[in-house]
Chains A and B, each alone.
Chain A
């Protein structure tokens, strides 16, 4: 009798455990503006990495010679470290009627320098100019964990006249092999490690293993003003890509996704606005739900394995992470080819309520004007918006303000 009871108990345990063990059901990604880890790292490590992300660099640590900011958090801070700010960066170049040509020294015009004589400025003949607002990095670990094929599937599901462009960009830590771009206004990066090294160089002027060469000033060498030996964030035991670059990467991978304003989202107006958002077609590009790759998936061309904290998670970025021409430019080509000149990544709307300045250049100051500024591939959707009543427009905007 006792044996029978134990056998039944064992079968019962197996019945509970086996489905759980085999289950592939995705779960919601954690969200919060709370400076807490999503589980990718321990809280103590997260706090330490956040400290590195907030650190202000000086000239003797490699800052500059040309740069935009002294620390990551200067641009990624509100309401918590890793989010957004009002800071914009400046890009410029020339369009010859067929192709975009980089400004001498590259399209990024750094706004600061360690010496007045090397301050970059827009030179004559470079009539394409644009500002780019600082992007949110919270939840980017989940975005990195999205399979490139998921992005392609999103594009394929879109109507042909609204279809987004998927581009493949080099993954620095994988020897330049390519992967589907998803970070930056032009989708110029696919991995957070490559993105971190790029930003460390281009925003702070600090070289690292993946970005070992200093920027010029309008194409002229800045070596005379460079006090630290390159790479300024060198490889060390345990951190082959540089301690700082790896800390930035770990920090972003460990951030939670931006949360909704639950109280506002629960209102009747926001819920009606959410329905309108779907009905008029906003969700075609501002994709509501994406599921990340399963834990254990090797991504970034072999350079990273999706951990349990990031794998099989449902995120709500309100973006398809594809490039679209919605009539706003910005006229700049980075590494997506000339066909991307007037295309921009669909702005993820998670955390939108923290943004007073809208669109890629921050030049639009209210939700209605931002919506009406969309044209090109978004024309039919925006015309649907124009056909809404004032009450419905307010409901839609209430919904947007809950994001």
Chain B
């Protein structure tokens, strides 16, 4: 009998003790930082040397592409994150086409002319077929920069191969200037960073970053041309 009473008393005490252990969440003291993000990486970098361009390309794409057919490269902040990016016209190495088009490749193959117009409301139900690299393509290889050293940083490996993005004049311009000149700017363009002046077919236009991909937009025909278009 004493054992039963002992057990009963123990259970009652245990449950009472649990019930009494009500806790209150105490909000942690975390310094709030309501201010804007610091301007990223406002560092003037020296002009790239050809060997650095080769290194940057190789880090991103290995030996699957080679610069050319004409030697040329652009630097600018093409994705608007404050870090300097690299853009180089390249040709595919034909023996590596399989790797270039691998669905698990470390880069994204895109077509600047294949970007559907910006939409609103529910996302579309159908998408176009994957873009693939063809043997005779001339692609714009873009390497996004990382941190203050931009595309030269050893961590800078986010990269894209963009079809229909290498037409003349292939020059970088601040996008804020250019978009003010364009009466109907693409609604998915961002104001910060740079764009790449590049013709497509016989039309003048520019290649810009949408946040997901590179797209091409035509320039209006104006005379005289806006200063932003001058070299």
* Partner-B contacts on A (CB < 8 A): 3, 6-11, 13-14, 17-18, 21-22, 86-88, 90, 95, 97-99, 109, 111, 122, 127-131, 147-149, 152, 165-168, 178-180, 293-294, 296-299, 301-302, 305, 327-331, 337-339, 341-342, 357, 361-366, 368-369, 372-373, 375-376, 379-380, 382-383, 386, 390, 393-394
Contacts and interface: CB of A to CB of B under 8 A. Distances in A.
B36 A99 contact: yes
Interface of B: 1-8, 10-11, 14-15, 17-19, 21-28, 30, 32-37, 79, 81, 102-108, 118, 120-123, 125, 127, 144, 146, 155, 157-158, 179, 185, 187-192, 211-212
A366 B25 CA distance: 40
30 contacts: A3-B1, A6-B1, A10-B7, A17-B10, A18-B11, A95-B191, A98-B36, A111-B121, A122-B120, A127-B185, A127-B190, A148-B28, A149-B25, A149-B26, A166-B30, A178-B27, A179-B27, A180-B28, A293-B25, A298-B24, A302-B24, A305-B22, A327-B144, A327-B158, A339-B33, A357-B123, A372-B107, A375-B146, A379-B155, A386-B157
B7 A17 contact: yes
B35 A375 contact: no
Contact of B123 (A86, A331, A394): A86
Given A3-B1, A127-B189, A329-B211, 13 more contacts: A11-B6, A14-B11, A17-B10, A21-B14, A127-B190, A167-B32, A296-B18, A297-B25, A338-B34, A364-B212, A369-B108, A372-B107, A390-B104
A298 B25 contact: yes
A171 B110 CA distance: 44
A128 B190 contact: yes
A298 B103 CA distance: 49
A362 B18 CA distance: 46
Contacts of A7: 2-3, 6
A10 B32 contact: no
Nearest to B23: A297
Contacts of B2: 3, 6-7, 10
Contacts of A87: 122
B30 A90 contact: no
A393 to B, nearest CB: 5
Given A14-B6, A342-B37, A380-B155, A180 B17 contact: no
A296 B127 contact: no
A22 B144 contact: no
Contact of A296 (B15, B23, B146, B211): B23
B34 A17 contact: no
A297 B24 contact: yes
B146 A90 contact: no
A274 B212 CA distance: 27
A366 B212 contact: no
A293 B27 CA distance: 13
A297 B146 CA distance: 44
B17 to A, nearest CB: 7
A87 B124 CA distance: 10
Contacts of A366: 103
Contacts of B190: 127-128, 331
Central interface residue in B8, B106, B189, by most chain A CB within 10 Å:
B106
Contacts of A293: 23, 25
A10 B3 contact: yes
A180 B19 CA distance: 26
Contact of A13 (B7, B15, B103): B7
Contacts of B107: 372
B22 A298 contact: yes
A386 B102 CA distance: 13
Contact of A337 (B8, B21, B33, B104): B33
A344 to B, nearest CB: 12
B160 to A, nearest CB: 10
A131 B120 CA distance: 8
A73 to B, nearest CB: 15
Nearest to B159: A372
A192 to B, nearest CB: 15
A133 to B, nearest CB: 8
Nearest to B18: A21
Contacts of A167: 32
Nearest to A369: B108
A232 B26 CA distance: 34
Contacts of A373: 212
Nearest to B155: A379
B224 to A, nearest CB: 26
B192 to A, nearest CB: 7
Given A131-B123, A147-B25, A376-B81, A22 B14 contact: yes
